[in-house]
Amino acid sequence: MVHSPVLIDDAGAVRRITVNRPDKLNALNAHTIQALTEAFLAADADPAVRVVVLTGAGAKAFVAGADIAEMADLDAMAGRAFGLRGQTLMRTVETLSKPVIARINGFALGGGLELAMACHLRIAAETAKVGQPEINLGLIPGFGGTQRLLRLSSRAAALELCLLGAPITATRALALGLVNEVVPADELDARVDALTAQLANAAPLALRAILECIVHGGESALGEGLQYEAAQFGLMFATADMREGTAAFVGKRKPIFEGR
């Protein structure tokens, strides 16, 4: 059987994408980056998928970074191309029209933290460690880390993590706003399952509009972002889901959203 660097499983409307190189702590080589990009594009295009979970195979790592062995011999142009492929993957994840949850089950270092930061929600096991250790290799983050750390957390955290290169605990990552929740390792699946169940039952078109407002709108000036929000808000009044949600509230029953 051919070894696949990415595993894809569906449970109802939830698609789980697993980086599957546990013997290399799920390091991202070019092949894995390509397979992940294709997996996310396929999840986006599949109407049966309402929420995506991204995780790493094995107990030790989410993703321990870009593949150092593969990068070791690249020249400047190949390095730039590799960085751009990584950035394309992160942007594909970030701009997905469905919520993506990072299930951070262990090390999320370098490209691993960059990948987690591109997701919309991050749930980390207490045992996880995150960081941008590229400086220790004479490198810098190249898959968007300098920019997303700055935006997601703070200038102080971005400078600390990138300049010092030392991994931090999940608890510290929580304090910095880098992850949404930290849970005991043996409760990680239960928590991720609860969140995916909630999101899988939420109104898909409203979820998409929220993602677009926050991801795209958040990159523009406030006035433009507010205009964008107003347009998306108005658009919701054309959906059957909005009629269902408001009718269910008034009728004191649970809504059933169909993505129409």
Active site residues: 114, 134
68 binds ligand COA (CB under 6 A): yes
CB nearer to ligand COA: give 16 or 24.
Answer: 24
Residues 6+ apart with CB under 8 A from 242: 203, 206, 236
CB nearer to ligand COA: give 133 or 217.
Answer: 133
Cβ pair 259, 236 in contact under 8 A:
no
- Rounded to whole angstroms, how far apart are CA atoms 239 and 224? 24
- Rounded to whole angstroms, how far apart are CA atoms 173 and 93? 21
- Side-by-side strand order, sheet with 51-56: 6-11, 14-19, 51-56, 100-104, 121-125, 181-183
66 binds ligand COA (CB under 6 A): yes
| Residue 86, SS3 per DSSP | helix
Query: Site for ligand COA (CB under 6 A): which residue of 15, 16, 24, 148?
Result: 24
Per CB under 6 A, which region of 82-90, 133-141, 177-185, 208-216 contacts ligand COA?
133-141
170 binds ligand COA (CB under 6 A): no
Query: Site for ligand COA (CB under 6 A): which residue of 5, 65, 83, 144?
Result: 65
**Is residue 66 left, alpha or beta, with left meaning phi > 0 and alpha meaning psi from -120 to 50?**
beta
Query: Site for ligand COA (CB under 6 A): which residue of 56, 110, 144, 217?
Result: 110
Query: Site for ligand COA (CB under 6 A): which residue of 19, 25, 49, 53?
Result: 25
- Side-by-side strand order, sheet with 129-131: 61-63, 107-109, 129-131, 168-169
Q: Shortest gap between Cβ of 107 and ligand COA (angstroms)?
A: 5
27 binds ligand COA (CB under 6 A): yes
What residues line the site for ligand COA (CB under 6 A)?
24-25, 27, 64-69, 107, 109-110, 133-134, 137, 139
